[in-house]
Amino acid sequence: MSITVRAAAKINLHLGVGRARDDGFHPLDTVYQAIGIHDDLSLADAGDLTLTTLVADHIDPAVVPDGSDNIVLRAARLLAERSGRKPTGAFEVRKDIPVAGGMAGGSADAAAALVACDRLWGLGTPDDDLLAMAAELGSDIPFSLVGGTARGVGRGELVTPVDDRGAWWWVAVPAPVGLSTPVVYRHFDTMRPDAPEVPAPADALLAALASGEPVRLARALHNDLQEPAIDLRPELGELIALGEAEGALRGIVSGSGPTVVFLCDSAEGARETAASLAGAGHEVVLTATGPVAGAHVVA
Ligand code: C5P
C-alpha cells in the first residue's frame, strides 16, 4: 500500500519579530499564507525507513539535505515513538518548493510526513496531537498542516485561521543560493538591539485580507526580517525594486528569505511581471495563487 500527501509552500504576509526570548527563539506575530507551489510526498509500505528525494528542474539536487537527520525521517520517528510502533516505510519526496528559500519547504515535507504516516499506519491521531508534534519539530510546521491563511503567534507555532476574502496572485523568485534562517535571525538581533518585546501586530494586514483588495493588501505587507535579509544579500533589494517597476503591486522578502514574492493585481499581471523578471535574467520565476490547502492526501 502507498499514500501521497501534498504540502504547500508558505509566505509570510506579515512577520512581526520581537526581541529574542530566553530560549533563543523570537516571539512572532505573523500571518502565513499557503500558496500553490507544492512538494508531494509518497510513503509506501516497507520493512525499514528510507527516503528518496527527487527535485524539480529549478532546484539544484546538491542543496537538498539528506541523511538520517532529515526532517521527514525525524517526523516519522517522532510519530512512531508517540504511538508506540516501529517507524517503517519508503518515503519519496518530489520537491518543487525552493530549498532554504524562506518558504518552509522542509516544514511542508515534515507536515506531509506526519499526515502520511498517520494514515498509512492507520493511527487516527487526533489533530491536536499532530499539531503538537508538528510544533516540536519546527515553528512553521503546524501552519503547514493547517494551510490557508492563518495567524501565527508564540514562536510561530500557535496557529489560528483568519478571514481571507481574496484569491491572490503571487510571483516568487527564489535565489540560486539559500539563506540560513538562524543566520538571518541573528542578523536581526544585531541590527535591531531595540526590538520590542511584543512583536508588531498584524491588524492592518488582517483588515486588508478581509477586504479582498489587492492594492490594500500590497500596502499592508510587512516583514521585520526583510532588512536583515537585504543587508546580507543586497541584490534582494534590487530585485524588489525591479519587480515593482515591472508592474507588481509590491515585492517582499518571504520569511527569512532569500525568495522574494511579488503581489500582483491579476493572473495577467502576474504573468507579465513573471515574464519581465525572466527577461531580466532571473532564471527561476514561479507564479502561484493563494491561499491553498494545508497538507492533504491526494492519492
Ligand atoms: O523552529 P525552527 O526549527 O524552524 O527554527 C529554526 C531556527 O530559526 C531556530 O533555531 C532559530 O534560530 C530561528 N527561529 C527564531 N525564532 C522563531 C523561529 C525560528 O529565532 N520564532
- Is the bond preceding residue 214 a cis peptide, omega within 30 degrees? no
pLDDT score of 67: 79
**Looking up cell 506526519, which residue turns up?**
114
End-to-end CA distance of the chain: 11
Q: Which residues of the chain have pLDDT under 50?
A: none
Is there a catalytic annotation at residue 140? Answer: yes
58 CA from centroid of ligand 1 (Å): 26
Catalytic annotation, pick one of 109, 140, 164, 224: 140
pLDDT score of 100: 86
Q: Cα separation of 115 and 112, whole Å?
A: 5
| Domain 168-290: assigned CATH number | 3.30.70.890
Mutate to test the pocket of ligand 1, among 10, 12, 25 (most ligand atoms within 8 A of CB): 25
- 10 Å Cβ neighbour count for 4? 17
Q: Cα separation of 73 and 273, whole Å?
A: 38
- Counting other chains too, the contacts that 70-74 makes at CB distance below 8 Å and 24 or more residues apart are 71/106, 71/107, 71/109, 71/110, 71/113, 71/137, 71/138, 72/41, 72/109, 72/110, 72/112, 72/113, 73/49, 73/113, 74/110, 74/137
The residue among 218, 296, 288, 220 whose CA lies nearest residue 259 is: 288
As given in the structure block, the three cell numbers for residue 261 are 514574492
pLDDT score of 65: 78
pLDDT score of 69: 85
Output the known binding site for ATP.
98-108
pLDDT score of 78: 98
Residue nearest to atom 11 of ligand 1 (CA): 182
Is there a catalytic annotation at residue 10? Answer: yes
Pocket of ligand 1 (CB under 6 A): 25-26, 28, 138-140, 155-156, 181-182, 185
30 CA from centroid of ligand 1 (Å): 14
Q: Pick left, alpha or beta for residue 174 (phi over 0 → left; psi -120 to 50 → alpha; otherwise beta).
A: beta
Helix (H) or strand (E) holding 237: helix 235-245
2 CA from centroid of ligand 1 (Å): 32
Q: Cα separation of 271 and 266, whole Å?
A: 9
126 CA from centroid of ligand 1 (Å): 26
| Domain 2-162: assigned CATH number | 3.30.230.10
Residues of each domain in the chain carrying CATH 3.30.70.890: 168-290
Q: Fill in the amino acid letter for 126.
A: P
List Cβ neighbours of 37 (8 Å cut-off, separation of 6 or more).
8, 9, 96, 97, 98, 103, 172, 286, 288
Using CA atoms, how far residue 213 sits from 107, 191, 243, 299, in Å, is 29, 33, 20, 35
Output the known binding site.
98-108
Looking at ligand 1, which atom is closest to the CA of residue 156? 21
Residues of each domain in the chain carrying CATH 3.30.230.10: 2-162
As given in the structure block, the three cell numbers for residue 281 are 535574467
23-55 burial, b for 16+ CB within 10 Å, e for fewer? eeebbbbbbbbbbbbbbbbbbeeeeebebebeb
Model pLDDT for residues 63-82, shown as the tens digit of each residue: 887 777 899 999 999 999 99
As given in the structure block, the three cell numbers for residue 208 are 486588508
Question: What is this model's ipTM?
Answer: 0.98
Q: Which residues pair with 11 in a beta bridge?
A: 33
